[in-house]
Structure 1
Amino acid sequence: MAVIRRAYPPRSGADYPTTDIVVRSWPGDGVDGHRRRTRRPRGRRPTPRTRRRSVGRTTPVLGETDAVPSLADDLPDVLAVPTVPAAPDVTVRPPGSKSITNRALLCAALADGRSRLSGALFADDTRAMIGAVAALGATVTADEPSRELTVTGIDPRRAAAVAAVDARQSGTTSRFVLPVAALRPGRTTVDGAAQLRARPMGPLLDALRQLGAQVQEGTDQGHLPVTVSGPLRGGPARLPGHLSSQFLSGLLMAGPLMRDGLAVELTSPLVSVPYVTMTTAVMAAFGVTVDGLRTAPGRYSATDYAIEPDASAASYFLAAAAITGGRITVDGLGTDSVQGDVAFADLLARMGARVERTARRLTVTGTGSLRGIDVDMADISDTAQTLAAVAVFADSPTRVRGIGFIRRKETDRIAAVVTELRRAGIDAVEDDDGFTIHPGPPAPTRFASYDDHRMAMSLSLLGLRVPGIEIADPRCVAKTYPGFFTDLATLTSR
Structure 2
Amino acid sequence: MLAIKTKKYVKAVIEAPPSKSYTQRALVIAALANGKSIIKNPLFSDDTSHMISALKAFGARTERKGNNLVVYGTNGKLKQPKGRIFSGNAGTTMRFITAFASLADGTSVITGDKRMQQRPINDLLDALRQLGVKSESSSGCPPVKIYGGNFIGGTARLKGSISSQYLSSILMVAPYAEKDVTISITGNLASKPYVDITVDVMKNFGVDIKNVNYKKFIIKNTKKYKSGNYVVEGDASSASYFFAAAAVTKGKIMVKNINPKSKQGDIKFVDILKRMGCGVRKGNSFIEVQGGSLKGIHVDMNEMPDIVPTLAVTSLFADSATTIRNVPNLRLKETDRLRALAFELRKIGANVEEMQDGLNIKRRRLQKAIIETYNDHRMAMSFAVAGLVINGVRIKNPGCVAKSFPDFWKKFNEMYKK
Aligned equivalents of 2:218 and 2:175: distance in 1?
A: 9
* Aligned twin of 1:101: 23
* Aligned twin of 2:285: 360
* Aligned twin of 2:228: 303
Do structure 1's residue 485 and structure 2's residue 409 form an aligned pair? yes
Correspondence for 2:53 among 113, 124, 131: 131
Correspondence for 2:180 among 261, 279, 304: 261
SS at match of 1:190: strand
Letter in 2 for 1:362: I
Preserved contact between residue 393 and residue 441 of structure 1 (Cα < 8 Å): no
* Aligned twin of 1:172: 92
* Aligned twin of 2:13: 91
Preserved contact between residue 197 and residue 225 of structure 1 (Cα < 8 Å): no
Do structure 1's residue 279 and structure 2's residue 202 form an aligned pair? no
SS at match of 1:90: strand
* Aligned twin of 2:327: 403
Aligned equivalents of 1:221 and 1:336: distance in 2?
A: 38
Preserved contact between residue 392 and residue 441 of structure 1 (Cα < 8 Å): no
Could you list the runs of 5+ residues in structure 2 that have no partner in the other structure?
212-216
* Aligned twin of 2:2: 79
RMSD: 1.3
Aligned equivalents of 1:354 and 1:185: distance in 2?
A: 55
Aligned equivalents of 1:159 and 1:128: distance in 2?
A: 18
1:159 Cα shift?
3.4
SS at match of 1:378: coil
Letter in 2 for 1:249: S
Correspondence list, 1:91-490, <5 A: 91-143=13-65, 146-157=66-77, 159=79, 162=82, 164-217=84-137, 219-292=138-211, 293-298=217-222, 299-367=224-292, 369-490=293-414
Cα-to-partner distance string for 1:304-324 (whole Å, 9 max, x where unaligned): 011011110000001111111
Aligned equivalents of 1:123 and 1:441: distance in 2?
A: 37
SS at match of 1:99: helix
- Deviates further, 205-214 or 327-336: 327-336
Cα-to-partner distance string for 1:313-351 (whole Å, 9 max, x where unaligned): 000001111111111111121333231110011000000
Aligned equivalents of 1:330 and 1:479: distance in 2?
A: 21
Aligned equivalents of 1:161 and 1:371: distance in 2?
A: 53
SS at match of 2:127: helix
1:492 Cα shift?
2.3
Q: Structure 1 297/463 Cα, relative in aligned 2: closer, same or farther at 3 Å?
A: same
Letter in 2 for 1:314: A
Preserved contact between residue 186 and residue 230 of structure 1 (Cα < 8 Å): yes
Aligned equivalents of 1:222 and 1:490: distance in 2?
A: 41
Letter in 1 for 2:164: S
Aligned equivalents of 2:84 and 2:202: distance in 1?
A: 25
Preserved contact between residue 162 and residue 186 of structure 1 (Cα < 8 Å): no
Aligned equivalents of 1:148 and 1:429: distance in 2?
A: 45
Letter in 1 for 2:160: G
Cα-to-partner distance string for 1:349-399 (whole Å, 9 max, x where unaligned): 0000001112211111112x0000000000000000100011000000000
TM-score normalised by structure 2 residue count: 0.96
Aligned equivalents of 1:195 and 1:147: distance in 2?
A: 31
* Aligned twin of 1:61: none
Aligned equivalents of 1:92 and 1:295: distance in 2?
A: 39
SS at match of 2:37: strand
Preserved contact between residue 96 and residue 165 of structure 2 (Cα < 8 Å): yes
Cα-to-partner distance string for 1:145-167 (whole Å, 9 max, x where unaligned): x3210001003446356553211
Q: Structure 1 134/466 Cα, relative in aligned 2: closer, same or farther at 3 Å?
A: same
Aligned equivalents of 1:269 and 1:114: distance in 2?
A: 38
Residue-pair matches, total: 412
Cα-to-partner distance string for 1:15-65 (whole Å, 9 max, x where unaligned): xxxxxxxxxxxxxxxxxxxxxxxxxxxxxxxxxxxxxxxxxxxxxxxxxxx
Could you list the runs of 5+ residues in structure 1 that have no partner in the other structure?
1-77
Aligned equivalents of 1:430 and 1:392: distance in 2?
A: 15
Aligned equivalents of 1:315 and 1:456: distance in 2?
A: 13
1:183 Cα shift?
1.4
SS at match of 1:395: coil
TM-score normalised by structure 1 residue count: 0.81
1:98 Cα shift?
0.6
Letter in 2 for 1:153: G
SS at match of 1:255: helix
1:428 Cα shift?
1.1
Preserved contact between residue 349 and residue 363 of structure 2 (Cα < 8 Å): no
Aligned equivalents of 2:122 and 2:184: distance in 1?
A: 16
Preserved contact between residue 57 and residue 82 of structure 2 (Cα < 8 Å): no
Letter in 2 for 1:366: G
Q: Structure 1 124/195 Cα, relative in aligned 2: closer, same or farther at 3 Å?
A: same
Correspondence list, 1:3-18, <5 A: none
SS at match of 1:194: coil
* Aligned twin of 1:56: none
